[in-house]
Amino acid sequence: MAKMEAMSLLVFSHANSFGASTYRVMFEELRRLGHTVEVIDQLGHNPKYPVTNNWPHVVEELREFVSSVKAKHQQTPILIGHSLGGAASLMLASQSPELARGMIMIESFVMYGWKRWAIKLAKLFGKTMKRPPASVALRRRTTWDSVDHVIAHLKHKRAFKHWDERVLRDYAEGGTVVTEDGKRTLKFKREIEAKFYAYFPDNVMPMLRKYPLHCPFHFVGGLQSRELNAVGLGGTENLVAARSGNTLQRVEGSHLFPMERPIETARLIDALLQGTEGFRL
């Protein structure tokens, strides 16, 4: 398909514990392909928008950012989100359809059926902060001697071992800050990461029944994603089936496939943008 003369305005929201700087390679490819990409650096870190049950303040933080992007460009953006960012973007598109011309959700979860009730009850009884993945996040190492030490520590871990080397360096540099003693410490606070896990939304399906999406929707998941395979696709399949033209596809990679294959991910996003009538200007 021939390229459109007017390309898309995109607002991208990041996954939990990985700020926007981690996705630089993917963003550069999207911009090379002609798209305008606006990103929020780190959700949940502004005290004005704390991470609480079902993330209402986080959605409000994203709403404020997307509203400013829409006003700046005089154009309604397409929302793209990875994991945490996908769930927050989906809730925003449901609640505020005037802010979303379309949506691409990458490796995010729509809690459905008994699993939705299980996490709801676990939160009610205060269990979610004491169990993985929140409990693991609270024990996460946060400080290293240098960027190279960050890379050396992470590169052989299961979650990072297949990352593109450029992305791993971007995470080590942009995802850490220099401490007073010259070391590097994680920029994404582990306490906030844990809260995102512990308070993951259990109200998305009821929200979508009350406020169904009015824009095109695509979902992309990794074939080797342990997280997606554990949660299941029931809720997402219902969402896809709700509108003609919505799609669900799986691609090679883990839950973090945008970090493993950033160029391919950008080109897949571009193909979805090109091929969806509702996404076009």
Q: What is the reported pLDDT for 73?
A: 97
Task: Give the CATH class of 9-279.
Answer: alpha beta
How does 98-130 read in b/e, with b if 16+ C-beta sit within 10 Å? ebbbbbbbbbbbbbbeebbeebeebbeeeebbe
Query: Which amino acid is residue 32, in one-letter code?
Result: R
Helix axes 24-32, 262-275, angle to 10 degrees: 40
Instruction: Using 50 as the pLDDT threshold, list the residues of the chain that sit under it.
Output: 1-6, 281
pLDDT digits (tens, 9 = 90+) for 133-144: 999 999 999 999
**Cα-based angle 29, 13, 153 (whole degrees, multiple of 5):** 80
The pLDDT of residue 3: 42
Tens-digit pLDDT profile for residues 135-170: 999 999 999 999 999 999 999 999 999 999 999 999
For residue 203, give every residue at least 6 positions away whose Cβ sits within 8 Å of its Cβ, in sequence order, or none.
54
- Exposed/middle/buried for 59, CB within 10 Å: 0-12, 13-18, 19+? buried
pLDDT value for 5: 40
- Angstrom distance (rounded) from CA 207 to CA 213: 10
The full set of domain ranges for the chain reads 9-279
Residue with tokens 């010259």: 182
What's residue 280's pLDDT? 54
Query: pLDDT per residue over 67-107, tens digit each?
Result: 999 999 999 999 999 999 999 999 999 999 999 999 999 99
The pLDDT assigned to 7 comes to: 73
pLDDT at 61: 98
pLDDT, residue 206, reads 95
| 39-46: long-range contacts, CB 8 A cutoff, minimum separation 24 | 39/11, 39/12, 39/13, 39/14, 40/11, 40/13, 40/14, 40/65, 42/14, 42/187, 42/188, 43/13, 43/14, 43/84, 43/85, 43/88, 44/192, 44/195, 44/196, 45/188, 45/189, 45/192
Q: What is the pLDDT, as a whole number, of residue 278?
A: 60
pTM of the model: 0.95
Confidence at residue 4, expressed as pLDDT on a 0 to 100 scale? 40
pLDDT of residue 139: 96
pLDDT at 276: 79
